[in-house]
Amino acid sequence: MIITDANIDYQDYNDGCVILINKPLGVSSFYVVDQIQKSYWLKRKQKLKIGHAGTLDPLATGLLILCTGKMTKKINLFQDMEKTYTGTFQLGASTASYDLETEVVNHLDTQSIDILQIELVRSSFMGFQNLRPPVYSAIKLNGKRAYELARKGLHTEMPLKPIYISRFNISLENFPELSFTISCTKGTYIRSIAHEFGKRLNNAAYLSSLQRTAIGDYQVQNAFELTDFLEKLNPVINVI
């Protein structure tokens, strides 16, 4: 069952339901889960079993699918669904994290980049390929999170990861910032696509904004804003 305004007072979330949340900027996916658990406990004095089907970085916004109770056994079904993202790449510079988590460096001239080059690079990403995840990621290497090693200044060679991209649309309206829409398989790091896009242009690029708009047939426009959901779940206490 998918939670909506009409059934948000469903008596036993632990019996199994799905919650769609539009994750706000600046908070982790774990934070969303934690806030809903706290709100549920404060209202019902029951522990809520809950997990999310696919992490979004704090600098990303958009659709987060949460499964509760018995539905947590089906999280993998949601994780395996195709994801759709919109956002922006900034050409002419790079960052160590491939996004705005770290300092913008390596400033390069973009005036020589033309539409044909961008189209050739865009089309090169279509279909199956291998791409390296960012070093600033939660992937474990020899028992350590990659980002922990990166923050200590330790060089790590990230393993190639197979991905599939079924859609990749680009707008040059605000060049050298590129707006995009990408549909891809699970585990695709859009930050890595941004970084690699710059490399294939013989230039540089980083991810400057990101929103997940869909997971399978589930759309962000049908999701609750986090604050709205918490207030409706427990109108008495605001735990944010």
Look up the CATH number of the domain holding residue 140: 3.30.2350.10
Buried (b) or exposed (e) across 122-158, using 16+ Cβ within 10 A? beebeeeeebebbbbbebebeeeebbebbeeeeeeeb
Domain extent for 19: 5-80+217-233
Q: How far apart are CA 125 and CA 198, in angstroms?
A: 12
The residues near 219 (Cβ < 8 Å, ≥ 6 apart) are 63, 213
Q: Which helix (H) or strand (E) holds 229?
A: helix 226-233
- Please check whether residue 239 lies inside any domain of the structure: no
- Please check whether residue 12 lies inside any domain of the structure: yes
Are 120 and 131 in the same domain?
A: yes
The residues near 98 (Cβ < 8 Å, ≥ 6 apart) are 134, 136, 189, 191, 192, 194, 195, 206, 207
Q: Which residue has the tokens 């949460």?
A: 66
User: How confident is the prediction along the chain (240 residues), in pLDDT tens digits per residue?
Assistant: 899 998 998 878 999 999 999 999 999 999 999 999 999 998 888 899 999 998 899 999 999 999 999 999 999 999 999 999 999 999 999 999 999 999 999 999 999 999 999 999 999 999 999 998 887 766 776 666 766 666 766 677 778 899 999 999 999 999 999 999 999 999 899 999 999 999 999 999 999 999 999 999 999 999 999 999 999 988 765 544
Q: How far apart are CA 15 and CA 31, in angstroms?
A: 23
Q: How far apart are CA 119 and CA 235, in angstroms?
A: 50
With the C-alpha atoms ordered 144, 147, 148, 150, is the resulting torsion angle positive or negative? positive
- Please check whether residue 240 lies inside any domain of the structure: no
Are 72 and 93 in the same domain?
A: no
Catalytic residue numbers read 57
